[in-house]
Amino acid sequence: MKKAKKTYGVYNLIEWHARLRMGKATVKVAFTGGSITTQGVTPATFTTENPVIQFAIENSPEFHNGKIRVVRSVKLNGVVEIECNVPKVAHDVPSPIPAPITIESVAAPVENGDNDSDMQTDNEAKAEDSVKTTSATTQVEFSCNDDAKDYLEQTFGLVRSKLRNREDIVAAGKAHDVEIIFI
């Protein structure tokens, strides 16, 4: 896309400070310098080279309704490259659905009482190892409390009002096998 310097105008207004919505963000645009005299109407204007602001203005409902119009457009030397954001990689978050539990059965009968205690300690050791592997914590870093609250609310469905300070946030994370670190 070729770079352009565009002047947008709003007729029949002397000055207008517009707030144009662009997704979740708003863009403030100040149209100034308009006049209405016996000699004619001069629109309030705003001039920009910024392609993001041009995109916001040209995709606003005010532009589509005709309230904002293009007064001048000058092509500049240069090209604006439009790129896409890198796709987000899902965080390694433990799933709320537990893993299926497998039960092993022993087909051979036990002849001796000593073997029974050895088998029991082996099964207990295996169970402890499986508990250690399932309770591995995930480390997540946050720069402020609100980001950590958002993460816990979206991931685990916790209530934000219960997370009053960093100790509450860290404790809630530990309850869900997440180690929360503030940087």
- What pLDDT is attached to residue 105? 47
- What pLDDT is attached to residue 136? 60
Bridge-based pairing of strands 16-22 and 40-42 is: unpaired
Are the C-beta atoms of residues 94 and 174 closer than 8 Å to each other?
A: no
The domain locations on the chain are: 2-79, 138-182
pTM given for the model: 0.46
- What pLDDT is attached to residue 62? 94
pLDDT in tens, the chain (183 residues): 789 999 999 999 999 999 999 888 999 999 999 999 999 999 999 999 999 899 999 999 999 999 999 999 999 988 878 788 888 776 655 555 555 555 554 454 555 555 544 555 555 555 454 444 445 678 888 889 988 998 888 888 888 888 999 999 999 999 989 999 888
Candidates 5, 72, 4, 7; CA nearest to 45 is 7
**Going along the chain, which residue ranges are E strands?**
2-10, 16-22, 25-31, 35-37, 40-42, 44-48, 68-79, 138-142, 178-182
Candidates 76, 73, 86; CA nearest to 1 is 76
- What pLDDT is attached to residue 161? 87
Residue 183 to residue 170: CA distance in whole angstroms: 13
- What pLDDT is attached to residue 131? 46
Question: What are φ and ψ of residue 52, in 5° steps?
Answer: -70, -45
- What pLDDT is attached to residue 98? 54
